[in-house]
Amino acid sequence: MGKLGVVCLILLALNFSFGARGEPQVPCYFIFGDSLVDNGNNNQLRSLARADYLPYGIDFPNGPTGRFCNGKTTVDIIAELLGFDDYILPYSTARGRDILRGVNFASAAAGIREETGQQLGGRISFSGQVRNYQNTVSQVVNILGDENTAANYLSKCIYSIGLGSNDYLNNYFMPLYYNTGSRYTPEQYADVLIQQYTEQLQALYNYGARKFALIGVGAIGCSPNELAQNSQDGRTCVARINSANEIFNNRLKALVDQFNNNNSDAKFTYINAYGIFQDMISRPSTYGFRVTNAGCCGVGRNNGQITCLPYQTPCQNRKEYVFWDAYHPSEAANTIIARRSYSAESPSDAYPIDIRRLAQV
C-alpha cells in the first residue's frame, strides 16, 4: 500500500473515533412537549416543575441543565441519530442563527389543556409552545430573507410533538385539584384532548410544519409515583390509568390517518411510546434492566412518593433502572425509546413510518 493509502486509512480511523459526520438528515428539529423532553425552558419560571439542580444531570456532560433525567432525554438521542452535532437548544436561550437548527419548546408540567399542571406553578402549555414557535418562524423569515425560502426550509424539518401525559397525571387523575375526572368519561376526555391537539397541529401546519412525529403517551400507571399510591403490591401497574392512556393513544393514531388523508403535502407518523415502554418492563433483562418499579432517585415507597430531591444521593447502578425518579425514565430507558422511535425494531413501534424514514420523505 502506498503512502497515500495509509494516510487515507488513518484519516478514516480518526473520523470514526471522533464521530465525524456530514450534514444532518434534516436541516432542523423542532420539539414540543413536557418534562420528558424539556431541556431548560422551566429554569427561569416560578415553578415546582424544575430540574436545574443535582442529582439531575449527574450523567450529562454539562451537569444539571433542566432535563428531568440523570442524562440524555429521548430527543437528545434522536438529535444524535439524525446527525446533529449538538443538542437542540431550548427556546429560552436559542438566539440568532441557532434557531435554524431547530428549537426545543417543551415545558415541564405542560399539557394540551391550559389548566393542566397549574398546581405546580409556571409552565408553557401546548398552545403557548405553538405561539413561541410562531415567533420563531418570523425570526426564520428575517434570517432567510423571505417567506417562500423560509417555508421551503421549514418543510424539510422534523416536528416532534409529545403531550398528554400531564393531562392525565396532573389533571384527570388528580381530583383534589381538578374536576375533569368527574366531568368526563375516559373516552370523552380523550376526545376533548384530541380536539384541542388537532387545533394546535393545524396551527403548526399553517406555519410551515410538514413532517410530524406524534409521540404517544407512555404507561403512566406503571410509574413509581402511581405504583406507590395505587398499587397494592407495588409492582402491578394501575389498570384504570393505563386504560385511559391507551384510549388517548388510539385516538392519536387515528388522527395520524386523518391528517395524512387530508394533507398530501405533509407526512404524519405515530410513535408508540406506550408499547415500547411495556416491552421494556415486561422483558427487562433483555435490555439490561434489573429494577422496573422504583425510581433511582426518590423518597418513600418505590422511591416514588416524593420525587428526587435537591442534592439527594441517587442509586449507583443507574443503567439497571428503567426510572430515574418518580415519573421520568432513566437515560438507559430513554436510549431504547429513542432508538426504536428513530428506527423501528417492531412493526408496532411506529405507524406508518419511523423517524428515520420520516426524515427521508
Is there a catalytic annotation at residue 325?
A: yes
Identify the active-site residue in 325, 341, 349, 354.
325
Is there a catalytic annotation at residue 343?
A: no
What torsion do the CA atoms of 93, 168, 318, 336 make, to the nearest 10 degrees? Answer: -80
Rounded to 5 degrees, φ, ψ at 48 are -80, -15
d(CA 148, CA 58): 44
B/e letters for 262-290, b = 16+ CB within 10 Å, e = fewer, are eeeebbbbbbbbbbbbbbbbeebeebebe
d(CA 342, CA 246): 22
Reply yes or no: is the peptide bond before residue 55 cis, omega within 30 of 0. yes
Residue of 141, 116, 119, 147 lying closest to 129 (CA atoms): 116
Identify the active-site residue in 160, 328, 341, 349.
328
Identify the active-site residue in 35, 92, 107, 165.
35
Reply yes or no: is the peptide bond before residue 352 cis, omega within 30 of 0. yes
Is there a catalytic annotation at residue 328?
A: yes
Which residues are marked as active site? 35, 325, 328
